[in-house]
Amino acid sequence: MAGFDKRVYSYEDAMAGIESGMTVIAGGFGLCGIPENLIDEIKRRGVRDLTVVSNNCGVDGFGLGVLLEDRQIKKILASYVGENALFERQMLDGEIEVVLTPQGTLAEKMRAGGAGIPAFYTATGYGTPVGEGKEVREFNGRPHILEEAITGDFAIVKGWKADRYGNVVYRHTAQNFNPVAATAGRITVVEVEEIVEPGELDPSQIHTPGIYVDRIIQGCFEKRIEKRTVRD
Amino acid sequence: MAGFDKRVYSYEDAMAGIESGMTVIAGGFGLCGIPENLIDEIKRRGVRDLTVVSNNCGVDGFGLGVLLEDRQIKKILASYVGENALFERQMLDGEIEVVLTPQGTLAEKMRAGGAGIPAFYTATGYGTPVGEGKEVREFNGRPHILEEAITGDFAIVKGWKADRYGNVVYRHTAQNFNPVAATAGRITVVEVEEIVEPGELDPSQIHTPGIYVDRIIQGCFEKRIEKRTVRD
Amino acid sequence: MALTREQMAQRVARELQDGFYVNLGIGIPTLVANYVPEGMDVMLQSENGLLGMGRFPTEEEVDPDMINAGKQTVTARSGAAIFSSAESFAMIRGGHVDLTVLGAFEVDQQGNIASWMVPGKLIKGMGGAMDLVAGADNIIVTMTHASKHGESKLLSECTLPLTGAGCIKRVLTDLAYLEIEDGAFILKERAPGVSVEEIAEKTAGRLIVPDEVPEMTFE
Amino acid sequence: MALTREQMAQRVARELQDGFYVNLGIGIPTLVANYVPEGMDVMLQSENGLLGMGRFPTEEEVDPDMINAGKQTVTARSGAAIFSSAESFAMIRGGHVDLTVLGAFEVDQQGNIASWMVPGKLIKGMGGAMDLVAGADNIIVTMTHASKHGESKLLSECTLPLTGAGCIKRVLTDLAYLEIEDGAFILKERAPGVSVEEIAEKTAGRLIVPDEVPEMTFE
């Protein structure tokens, strides 16, 4: 069964093949469900001129924010950035190109990329700067804009549990962009908290079927909280 | 919590509001995971001129096949029909209009209908009779055709377990078209084998979130097998 | 007197109906959850993938894997569902959310809304706002009627880049509740003690004032 | 001699690689599963929503909720995943399946395939075939080289309505294994005891015959 054993045992192996200039799709929302260690490995490797596709860009010193320190990101597609002083400076200085993309459109572009749908129409963004230069067409009496799919050279994903076949489940809202990101990578790498034996995951309850996954690695996670909010 | 208690206690209530001329989207693949009793209720009501959207059309005397007996279906969108003598006769006699639709395109049209995507491009069907009359556009050097979303006045769905909020899980491959059908009905009715208490279903493991569901009914199912195949 | 933030939330809460799925934006919209009428149940959708958002957690319950769209730690209520961002926005874009409440910088008489970008200022992004306004039939915008400098936010035409075009039908400000119809704001209710004249003066867009403009009441 | 159905399946199975996700159509393609080489593992995808299709069930295991795309009762192997039709075709359309094997009525030298419709005959539908041929990079068509009446099925141009355009690169018939390149069939292998002349005679499309055309061997 070597053919379906997707486990790797070092982060170096997990990100083998990543090169400067590549497009990396990352799961996560804010700091929740982000592939912390895969990001750190990208930093360690020092690859540059990356195009990053991710809902957010981490914070100073954590998450995708660490890739800003050595200016590894050339361009980012995101819906919300700038929780992050370094990011703001690089954006204002024109060192990083930012393509702001509505959150739902971003998710759908990843889903479309994975699903072999090259483009779709959506009402989201019509009449706004997002719609500028895009084809407009009316459906059901309402204008829509054409949005194209996204795929990446790599997708980096944070799961909860996986089996060696690459079947993955996510925990709570750490799911977010991870399942769609996982479908859209030419090489999809998933880091998880626990690798379980095949058969332990209920086949009907798998969020990401193994067919989308190329490499699985078990890691340890800090899981930093961005806005700790409690009730009395 | 009356507002989210979607249970109904008779099939008459479950299909209340269905009228002749409406579009009905049905889950199921072959005879697997079909909303048997909801179909029977449509038969009982005698509504006519229905447009049915379903991967298949049942068999003689079971599943959607029963709606053929009194000529209740005017038009059907399906990927594979005619396991069914009555269907063949009505098709050949021109009594029923059949729009053959590739299986994946059919699923994606339902998903798009539920997801507010009015249309999408796909390579499926390009250069075939399915592509005739449809817009062709090249993406990534390959021609694609434009396909439009489907929504229905009703979606009829067969689940395994649900809570009263309408959160549904499916069992094994009885899932098939059901989750996408569930998203695409103006009124979505789900019949299940068991209604459980809220909280019994793991929130991260719900196939159809309750927001898509209007009515839930617990029923008994024959679950007829179309091709019983066993090994020795 | 102008409504307080709490009163604004209270007024919006009157638009809730039992069984509504509701998406509440950051700020005043979030407060609406505190004023759900007794005996009524609504389900909160958070666009990062949570239907059935519960209260904030206790210290013991805090879980970094359970946050809302504002990135705050939250809990899930019984009967909640959690799903991917693609599924979450399928719900939103597909019009399955019954009511969306969000803030704005400007709204105009065509129902356009500007809420995400002030040119020259740092742009952080639209997040899910463009999807929400494009997907919902039923949106209530909450904002102050005028800026701190007294400039109206209810305009004949938005001056800032739009979040969505022609999608807003209802606006609650600190001075009034208005509906947008046929290219005009229709003054439906006024804040207690606020005169129609004051509202008219602070509304730059076309304003239609019916014969009766009831005053809001709060307990 | 022409290959038997079993030999055709055996020959196709040589195209399998360890770790391949494979979709097998009805008929001869289904038989391929019986010839997976020792020590190699492949995962069968069934387009009704099952990745990791197992053996047929015993009488006791038969479950009406567990079928394959041919509507046969099946089992799921350990490590299987089950999902919706939309997800299943996302996999297929998105090119995630490594190998697709399916039957056909005709294939032509442009890589067009006709497999679902004979005008004048009853049309039952294309099922998932159009999605499969449009989605896979790697398709092997299995069919007899000629019809019962001796008419070639490898044509310069398909006569029947297409299932997909320009998507077939490999064909295994009962007489030969061929690849399609630049508008021609390239004869790669011939069935044991079948001459190049016979294949040429039964191939209506443009055929390129290399100097060496090895004979297939079977144990």
Checking if the pLDDT of B1 tops 50, the result is no
* Exposure string over D55-68, b if 16+ CB within 10 A, otherwise e: ebbeeeebbbbbbb
Q: Which of C18, C80, C96 sits opposite B203 (nearest CB)?
A: C80
Query: What's the whole-number average pLDDT of chain A?
Result: 96
User: What pLDDT sits at residue D219?
Assistant: 80
Q: How confident is the model at residue A229 (pLDDT cuts 50, 70, 90)?
A: very high
A176-to-A5, B113, B206, D115 alpha-carbon distances in Å: 26, 22, 15, 41
Provide the number of CB pairs (under 8 Å) joining chain B to chain C. 73
Q: Which residues contact A29 (CB under 8 A, 6 or more apart)?
A: A55, A56, A173, A176, A177, C48, C49, C67, C71, C85
Per residue in C120-156, pLDDT (tens digit) is: 887 889 999 999 999 988 999 999 999 999 999 999 9
Task: Decide if pLDDT at C1 tops 90.
Answer: no
Query: Would you place residue C29 in the very low, low, confident or very high pLDDT band (cuts 50, 70, 90)?
Result: very high
d(CA D60, CA D63): 9
C-alpha atoms less than 13 angstroms from C-alpha of D147 in its C-beta half-sphere: 10
Beta bridge partners of B185: B152
Whether the pLDDT of residue B10 is over 80: the answer is: yes
Mutate to test the interface with B, among D60, D113, D131, D133 (most CBs of B within 10 A): D131
Question: Which residue in A82, A91, A104 is closest to C131 by CB distance?
Answer: A104
**Residue D215 DSSP symbol:** B
Separation of alpha carbons A122 and D94, rounded Å: 20
Q: How far is CA B162 from CA A43, A146, C91, D65, in A?
A: 45, 37, 19, 17
**Strand C154-155 versus strand C106-108 pairing type:** parallel
Sign, CA dihedral C34-C35-C39-C42, equals negative
Query: Would you say A85 and A65 are in contact if contact means Cβ atoms under 8 Å apart?
Result: no
Chosen for mutation from B108, B110, B111, B120 (greatest number of chain A CBs closer than 10 Å) is B120
Cβ of D18 within 8 Å of Cβ of A2? The answer is yes
Interchain pair D78, A199: CB under 8 A? yes
Lowest mean pLDDT among A81-85, B196-200, D45-49: A81-85
Give C58's contacts in chain A (Cβ within 8 Å): 230-231
Q: How far is CA C168 from CA B171, C127, C133, C139, C184, in A?
A: 41, 18, 8, 6, 12
Axis-axis angle for helices C85-93, A103-115 (nearest 10): 120
The 10s digit of each residue's pLDDT in A56-78 is: 999 999 999 999 999 999 999 99
Side-chain-side CA neighbours of residue B131 (13 Å): 22
Q: Give the pair of three-digit tokens for residue C155.
A: 């305009």
Tell me how far the alpha carbon of residue B209 is from its chain's centroid: 17
pLDDT of A91 over the 90 cut: no
* Residue A29: closest CA among B173, C71, C114, D160: C71
Chains that touch B (3 or more CB pairs under 8 A): A, C, D
Which residues in chain D touch residue B175, judged by CB atoms under 8 angstroms apart?
Answer: 49, 82-84
Contact A164, A195 (CB under 8 A): yes
| CB contacts, 8 Å: B122 with chain D | 93, 134
Q: Is the ipTM of this complex over 0.90?
A: yes
d(CA A212, CA A115): 11
| pLDDT reported for residue A137 | 98
Closest listed residue to residue B117, CA positions, set A52, A27, A208, A149: A149
Chain D residues in contact with A216 (beta carbon < 8 A): none
Enter the DSSP assignment of D49. Answer: T
Average pLDDT over residues A198-222: 98
**B211, C97: Cβ pair inside 8 Å?**
yes
Which tens digits make up the pLDDT trace of B125-174?
999 999 999 999 999 999 999 999 999 999 999 999 999 999 999 999 99
Q: Which of residues 133-172 of C touch B (CB under 8 A)?
A: 135
Cβ–Cβ contact C95 with B under 8 A: yes
Residue-wise pLDDT for B59-98, tens only, equals: 999 999 999 999 999 999 999 997 788 888 898 889 999 9
What does the mean pLDDT of chain C come to?
Answer: 96
Which residue, C135, C138, C117, C136, is CA-closest to C126? C117
What is residue A1's predicted lDDT score, i.e. its pLDDT? 44
Q: Which helix (H) or strand (E) holds B7?
A: none
Per the residue annotation, which of D6, D38, D47, D181 is the catalytic one?
A: D47
| Distance between C46 CA and the closest CA of chain A, angstroms | 10
In this complex, the residue of D89, D91, D135 whose CB is nearest that of residue A211 is D91
CA distances (Å), origin D76, targets A8, A202, B204, D63? 26, 11, 23, 11
Asked if the Cβ–Cβ distance from C90 to B165 is below 8 Å, we say no
β-strands D170-173, B185-192 pairing? unpaired
Pick from B198, B199, B209: CB nearest C51? B209
Q: How far apart are CA A226 and CA C105, in angstroms?
A: 26
Query: Hey, of D46, D48, D68, D87, which one would you mutate to test binding to chain A, going by the most A CBs within 10 A of its CB?
Result: D87
Q: Do chains C and D touch (3 or more CB pairs under 8 A)?
A: no
Q: Tens digits of per-residue pLDDT, C166-197?
A: 999 999 999 999 999 999 999 999 999 999 99
Read off the DSSP letter of residue C61. Answer: T
**Percent of chain B with pLDDT strictly greater than 70:** 99
The one-digit pLDDT tens for each residue of chain D (219 residues) are 899 999 999 999 999 999 999 999 988 999 999 999 999 999 999 999 999 999 999 999 999 999 999 999 999 999 999 999 999 999 999 999 999 999 999 999 999 999 999 988 878 899 999 999 999 889 999 999 999 999 999 999 999 999 999 999 999 999 999 999 999 999 999 999 999 999 999 999 999 999 999 999 998
Instruction: For the beta carbon of residue B217, count every other beta carbon within 10 angstroms.
Output: 23
If DSSP codes are grouped into helix, strand and coil, which group holds residue C76?
strand
Query: What's the gap in Å between the CA of A47 and the closest CA on chain C?
Result: 26
**Phi-psi bin for A33: left (phi > 0), alpha (psi -120 to 50), beta?**
left
Residues of D in contact with B108 (CB under 8 A): 86, 89, 93
Closest residue, chain D, to A188 (C-alpha): D96
- Residue B203: its pLDDT value, please? 98
Q: Return the HEC string of chain A.
A: CHHHCCECCCHHHHCCCCCCCCEEEECCECCECCCHHHHHHHHHHCCCCEEEECCCCCECCEHHHHHHHCCCEEEEEECCCCCCHHHHHHHHCCCCEEEECCHHHHHHHHHHHHHCCCEEEECCCCCCHHHCCCCEEEECCEEEEEEECCCEEEEEEECCEEECCCCEECCHHHCCCHHHHHHCEEEEEEEECEEECCCCCCHHHCCECHHHCCEEEECCCCCCCCECCCCC
DSSP string of D144-204?
A: -SB-TTS-BSEESS--SPPSBSS---EEEESSEEEEEETTEEEEEEE-TT--HHHHHHT--
In this structure, what token pair is assigned to residue A125? 């963004």
For residue A196, list its beta bridge partners: A163
Structure tokens at A121: 């129409």
Tokens representing B178? 């059901």
Q: What would the pLDDT profile of C150-163 be if each residue is shown by its tens digit?
A: 999 999 999 999 99
SS3 label, residue B2: helix
Measured in degrees and rounded to the nearest 5, phi and psi for residue A224 equal -70, 140
Q: Is D218 helix (H, G, I), strand (E, B) or coil?
A: coil
Q: What confidence score (pLDDT) does residue B36 get? A: 98
Q: Given the DSSP bridges, would you call strands C50-53 and C106-108 parallel, antiparallel or unpaired? A: unpaired
**pLDDT per residue as tens digits for the range A113-146:** 999 999 999 999 999 999 999 999 999 999 999 9
| Of residues D19, D79, D83, nearest to A163 (C-beta) | D79
Q: What is the DSSP-derived secondary structure letter of residue B93?
A: T
Active site residue D47: yes
Catalytic positions of C, please? Answer: 47
A and B: number of Cβ contacts within 8 A = 57
CB–CB of C65 and A174 under 8 A? yes
For C17-46, give the DSSP string.
-TT-EEEE-SSHHHHGGGGPPTT---EEEE
